[in-house]
A and B are shown apart, each in its own frame.
Chain A
Amino acid sequence: MASKGMGVLLLLGIFAVTVSQISAFPTPAEDDKAVVYNRRLTEERPIQEQIAEADDVKAAVESADTKPAVEPKEVKEAEPEQENDDFTLLKSLAEGQRSKETNETPVRESLEKEPYFPDESDSTKNRRLVEDYDSTKMENDDPESFRQVDGTPLTAEDIVQKIATKIYEEDDRGVFDRIVSKLLRLGLITDSQADSLEYEVAEALQDLITKNAKNNEIEDLGEDYPVTRGDQDDQNPDASMDVTGSPNRRYDEEDDDEDQAAIDDDVDRGEGDDTVDNTWDRESEGEGEEEERSEGERDEGNELSPEDGLQDLQYFPNFYRLLKSLDSEQDAQERETLITIMKTLIDFVKMMVKYGTITPEEGVSYLENLDAMIALQTKNKLGKTLGIPGIIPPTGKTPEDDDNTKAEAAKMQKEYENLKDSTKEEAPSTETRDHPGKSEIYLEAIRKNIEWLKKHNKDEGKDDYDLSKLRDFMDQQVDSYIDKGIIEKGEGETIKRIYGSL
């Protein structure tokens, strides 16, 4: 593959171009994210405890003890009316929780829909209903834990986790949509809170995927994903987009902490992820598939081990493809550069969103476009595979040579036909086909030389040229040329044979 330098250049070009047209990309603030992450990871609470809490809260609610804390007025007022709805919601969530608990690993706690109260570091945006409720259940360092409407003090990340898990299992972003729209409708959360919720859940989702990839073998990933992708992928790429290609996912990858040392990651990938690579190979073989930016490709991105440190980048399947094509030693430098560029780009976008320069939606579409552009440019600039060789044959004499024009033209035609038929890597059959052509041409050339020598010597009054001397000289030259790789052994033999036959 040539133009690898081009690959870097083109990515830089894309970087430059797209940065100039940058649009928003959503991501929650880095700090918040990290904090949330940590909390979620370290403070996962057992299901039973939460069920118990739910029951307690239910009881508390029924005793009409509900008391919104710093919640805005509108929520307070809405609350009593919605209580029942929420209660039902909670109940169903709790039940779902119970039914699933036997199947779950701690990591994969899955609950039915629960109301989710986004975690906000900015206290002015708090909209928790029952913050004051059960302070013992609050996280130590979390002044913002939420509880359900009925007072169950689920931590924010618990809720996020549960929703994320649900989405993960059902491979259906609709889960989230349903919850959020309900919450919005109920006035439990504002729009901006809904946005934040998206981020949180997206992160949680990403985390789940990471964990699962770590816990399972790669083969399992293959199993899991077909399950999650299901028929959606085959029939309706857009549907699968809901899960894998959603802006949430995008957020996830952006928010992921990146592992360092891409090279190490490459090594890891090379060692452990053969099946993954095979998947890529299979996919990348078909040029036609490259044509579509099907969301299925994103799924493949998921199949790559996310733990390889390029997590952020796995949702750029075309970029990944590009990286994968640079898998030789010489390309290590190039690959590193590309990865660095891409990561820098992603970080940049994150910053833009963080500082509000762009909206989350803009950021998503920007990055989606980026990957699409990579696909397009890769296709254009790094060339297609397997074309018909269109080699221009400079054989034969120049058009000037009247003597043999026709014969030469015919010969050239034949040669060119032969060449056209052969593949780029010349098969031995092509060689033998060419041999008659070569011999003829060489014979012709040698004959001309002999004729000229005869005439030249006659003109100059010299003795007739010495054929044997000439033959010896040519033999010597031929050997020397073979040694230096100028002509092939076969060709040399042909030439010697011709001289021998004169």
Chain B
Amino acid sequence: RGGRSGTELRKALVSVWLQCPSITRIYTVGESFEGRELLVLEMSDNPGTHEAGEPEFKYIGNMHGNEAVGRELIVYLAQYLCNQYQQGNESIIDLIHTTRIHLMPSMNPDGFEKAASQSGELKDWFVGRSNAQGVDLNRNFPDLDRIVYGNEKEGGANNHLLNNMKKAVDENTKLAPETKAVIRWIMEIPFVLSANLHGGDVVANYPYDETRSGSTHEYSASPDDVIFKSLAKSYSQFNPVMSDPQRAPCRKNDDDTSFTDGITNGGAWYSVPGGMQDFNYLSSNCFEITLELSCDKFPAEDTLKTYWEENRNSLVNYIEQVHRGVKGFVRDLQGGAIFNASISVEGIDHDITTAKDGDYWRLLAAGNYKVSAYAPGYLTVIKKVAVPYSPAIRVDFELESLVERKEEEKEELMDWWKMMSETLNF
């Protein structure tokens, strides 16, 4: 039983649900420190279930409680999608039928309440940023960047780096309840693409956030630098403010030298350890970017309409990005799903894994790739694929298990012997 959630927020989400109950569902991933429910509105043609082959997407807003624009925009988005769906907007209908969209307007409702309770002009750069324990949630995630950087040098896994994830989370006393809830959420749902919404600047930021050398500014490319840039641009290009090359920095002395076309590498901008964005990429299959949506962290409510106008197209278009690259199923020869099979792309040092139905989604920019599927006890299969910008290309794998292979070989051997013996008459 939770404590109170933001009344207004809940009211808005409930309204969307009441209006579109066949395509929405409200659920909670846990409670904040002060007992507020971390609410999610999911939108899909079959809310509440993962449909095999259907990619999962999420938006998370307001993890810094005083960065309020994202929170409001996510609610507007929910209303928009519901309205457009009912009004027959084909692309929206298609999007909702082919994607499972999860919308969490506020990951830090405690911080938000604190920030919101300040009187008008004094909304502070910091008050309400952290959760109720004073924890900056975007520094609170396990730092997997350090591990992957080590693995880059010395060898080791390039994906799913949090070993014994469940145990690590349950027993880690440093994790805020909000952080824990989101980590469990990430473990449970096979998210493919995601964005977390912030304020205080205007740019689309992509991994890695933490610099390799530890310096404060350093371009820190992930193995998927190419697709990340493309994803970030897919957001910024529809936001006239974000993509405006003449845009002045939010504050006079801001260093936005790393911004181009409205996007920036995280480390090049400034190093952030323990952030949620990189955690997604390094602990799961989810590719996440960070969207900074407003110079003003907590602007007056009459500006929201403008922010919505600036971001609506970007927000919708970014969801559509989940349908890019390569996707399909990995099954065994009997057609059974192989869960946790690895999908490797030659030249990209980051593998993803199949979900419970054997389904996978590998985001890739346009180009030619060699994609291989591997699972322990199975023979690896490699396929060549030409990938367009979009939509995603369907590539399924049927993997022969090693046992089967042995059986086959034995049979072949027997056949040969039989033939020999017949020929030679013994």
Shortest distance from the beta carbon of A384 to any chain B beta carbon, whole Å: 7
A288: interface (CB < 8 Å): no
Stretch of B111-119, B152-160, B282-290, B335-343 contacting A (4+ beta carbons < 8 Å) = B111-119
Given contacts A392-B116, A392-B301, A484-B27, whether A5 and B15 have CB atoms under 8 Å apart is no
Contacts of A390 in B (CB 8 A): 116-120, 123
Given contacts A3-B134, A449-B18, A452-B86, whether A391 and B116 have CB atoms under 8 Å apart is yes
Output the nearest chain B residue to A3 by Cβ-Cβ distance: B134
B5-41 residues with Cβ-Cβ distance < 8 A to A are 5-12, 14-21, 26-28, 37, 39
Stretch of B75-83, B325-333, B401-409 contacting A (4+ beta carbons < 8 Å) = B75-83
Shortest distance from the beta carbon of B307 to any chain A beta carbon, whole Å: 11
B411: interface (CB < 8 Å): no
Residue among B19, B84, B135 with most chain A CB within 10 A: B19
Q: Is the CB of A383 within 8 A of B11?
A: no
Shortest distance from the beta carbon of A326 to any chain B beta carbon, whole Å: 10
The one of B1, B14, B26, B122 in contact with A387, judged by C-beta atoms closer than 8 angstroms, is: B122
Stretch of A99-107, A181-189, A204-212, A434-442 contacting B (4+ beta carbons < 8 Å) = A434-442
Q: Is the CB of B130 within 8 A of A442?
A: no
B78-121 residues with Cβ-Cβ distance < 8 A to A are 79-80, 83-84, 86, 105, 110-111, 113-114, 116-120
Given contacts A390-B118, A400-B80, whether A5 and B135 have CB atoms under 8 Å apart is yes
Tally A-B pairs: CB < 8 A: 151
Q: Is the CB of A495 within 8 A of B118?
A: no
Q: Is the CB of A394 within 8 A of B8?
A: yes
Q: Is the CB of A448 within 8 A of B86?
A: yes
Q: Is the CB of B117 within 8 A of A424?
A: yes
A445: interface (CB < 8 Å): yes
A399 to B80 alpha-carbon distance, docked (Å): 9
Contacts of A458 in B (CB 8 A): none
B72: interface (CB < 8 Å): yes
The one of A399, A442, A449 in contact with B308, judged by C-beta atoms closer than 8 angstroms, is: A399
Per-position 1/0 for A318-348, Cβ under 8 A of B: 0000000000001000000000000000000
B383: interface (CB < 8 Å): no
A487 to B6 alpha-carbon distance, docked (Å): 11
Q: Is the CB of A393 within 8 A of B15?
A: no
The one of B72, B110, B111, B308 in contact with A392, judged by C-beta atoms closer than 8 angstroms, is: B72
Q: Is the CB of A495 within 8 A of B18?
A: yes
B322: interface (CB < 8 Å): no
Q: Is the CB of B122 within 8 A of A445?
A: no
A491: interface (CB < 8 Å): yes
A419: interface (CB < 8 Å): yes
Contacts of A401 in B (CB 8 A): 79, 83
Shortest distance from the beta carbon of A429 to any chain B beta carbon, whole Å: 14
The one of B37, B76, B111 in contact with A2, judged by C-beta atoms closer than 8 angstroms, is: B111
Given contacts A3-B134, A383-B127, A398-B308, whether A487 and B86 have CB atoms under 8 Å apart is no
Output the nearest chain B residue to A7 by Cβ-Cβ distance: B134
Contacts of A424 in B (CB 8 A): 113, 117
A406-453 residues with Cβ-Cβ distance < 8 A to B are 415-416, 419, 424, 426, 434, 438, 441-442, 444-446, 448-449, 452
A137: interface (CB < 8 Å): no
A6: interface (CB < 8 Å): yes
Shortest distance from the beta carbon of A291 to any chain B beta carbon, whole Å: 15
Q: Is the CB of A384 within 8 A of B15?
A: no
The one of A6, A434, A495 in contact with B130, judged by C-beta atoms closer than 8 angstroms, is: A6
A125: interface (CB < 8 Å): no
Per-position 1/0 for A445-482, Cβ under 8 A of B: 11011001000000000000000000001100100010
Q: Is the CB of B8 within 8 A of A419?
A: yes
A441 to B16 alpha-carbon distance, docked (Å): 10
Q: Is the CB of B134 within 8 A of A445?
A: no
Output the nearest chain B residue to A484 by Cβ-Cβ distance: B28
Q: Is the CB of A400 within 8 A of B72?
A: no
Shortest distance from the beta carbon of A425 to any chain B beta carbon, whole Å: 9
B4: interface (CB < 8 Å): yes
Output the nearest chain B residue to A383 by Cβ-Cβ distance: B127
Shortest distance from the beta carbon of B70 to any chain A beta carbon, whole Å: 11
A399 to B37 alpha-carbon distance, docked (Å): 27
Q: Is the CB of A387 within 8 A of B21?
A: no
Q: Is the CB of B4 within 8 A of A486?
A: no
Q: Is the CB of A486 within 8 A of B19?
A: no
Contacts of A384 in B (CB 8 A): 118-119, 122
A2 to B113 alpha-carbon distance, docked (Å): 11
A6 to B28 alpha-carbon distance, docked (Å): 29
A477 to B24 alpha-carbon distance, docked (Å): 12
Given contacts A4-B134, A400-B83, whether A486 and B10 have CB atoms under 8 Å apart is yes
Contacts of B16 in A (CB 8 A): 445
Shortest distance from the beta carbon of A276 to any chain B beta carbon, whole Å: 27
Q: Is the CB of A394 within 8 A of B9?
A: yes
A3 to B308 alpha-carbon distance, docked (Å): 30
A240-290 residues with Cβ-Cβ distance < 8 A to B are none
Given contacts A387-B117, A441-B15, A487-B14, whether A394 and B75 have CB atoms under 8 Å apart is yes
Q: Is the CB of A477 within 8 A of B21?
A: yes
A416 to B37 alpha-carbon distance, docked (Å): 22
B293-350 residues with Cβ-Cβ distance < 8 A to A are 301, 304-305, 308-309, 312
Q: Is the CB of A391 within 8 A of B8?
A: yes
A214: interface (CB < 8 Å): no
Shortest distance from the beta carbon of B108 to any chain A beta carbon, whole Å: 10
A474 to B20 alpha-carbon distance, docked (Å): 11
A13: interface (CB < 8 Å): no
A330 to B133 alpha-carbon distance, docked (Å): 9
Contacts of A396 in B (CB 8 A): 12
A35: interface (CB < 8 Å): no
B416: interface (CB < 8 Å): no
Shortest distance from the beta carbon of B64 to any chain A beta carbon, whole Å: 12
Given contacts A486-B10, A486-B37, A486-B39, whether A449 and B133 have CB atoms under 8 Å apart is no
Given contacts A387-B118, A392-B304, whether A442 and B12 have CB atoms under 8 Å apart is no
The one of B27, B124, B305 in contact with A399, judged by C-beta atoms closer than 8 angstroms, is: B305
Q: Is the CB of B72 within 8 A of A449?
A: no
Given contacts A3-B134, A446-B19, whether A389 and B117 have CB atoms under 8 Å apart is yes
A416 to B71 alpha-carbon distance, docked (Å): 17
Q: Is the CB of B72 within 8 A of A388?
A: no
Q: Is the CB of B14 within 8 A of A395?
A: no
A485 to B122 alpha-carbon distance, docked (Å): 33
The one of B6, B21, B26, B75 in contact with A449, judged by C-beta atoms closer than 8 angstroms, is: B21
Contacts of A449 in B (CB 8 A): 18-21
A381: interface (CB < 8 Å): yes
The one of A3, A388, A473, A485 in contact with B119, judged by C-beta atoms closer than 8 angstroms, is: A388
A85 to B131 alpha-carbon distance, docked (Å): 69
The one of A393, A444, A481 in contact with B26, judged by C-beta atoms closer than 8 angstroms, is: A481
The one of B71, B79, B128, B131 in contact with A397, judged by C-beta atoms closer than 8 angstroms, is: B79
A394 to B8 alpha-carbon distance, docked (Å): 6
Q: Is the CB of A395 within 8 A of B19?
A: no
Q: Is the CB of A3 within 8 A of B127?
A: yes
A383 to B127 alpha-carbon distance, docked (Å): 6
Shortest distance from the beta carbon of B294 to any chain A beta carbon, whole Å: 12
Contacts of B26 in A (CB 8 A): 481, 486
A387 to B134 alpha-carbon distance, docked (Å): 20
Contacts of A416 in B (CB 8 A): 301
Output the nearest chain A residue to B111 by Cβ-Cβ distance: A2
Name 17 interchain pairs, CB-CB below 8 A, sorted by A: A3-B130, A4-B133, A6-B130, A383-B118, A383-B124, A391-B8, A395-B12, A397-B79, A400-B312, A401-B83, A434-B7, A446-B18, A448-B19, A473-B21, A486-B27, A486-B28, A495-B14
Cβ-closest 9 pairs across A and B: A5-B134, A485-B2, A387-B119, A445-B18, A445-B19, A4-B134, A394-B75, A392-B301, A445-B15
- Chain A contact residues, CB within 8 Å of chain B: 2-7, 330, 380-381, 383-384, 387-401, 415-416, 419, 424, 426, 434, 438, 441-442, 444-446, 448-449, 452, 473-474, 477, 481, 484-487, 491, 495
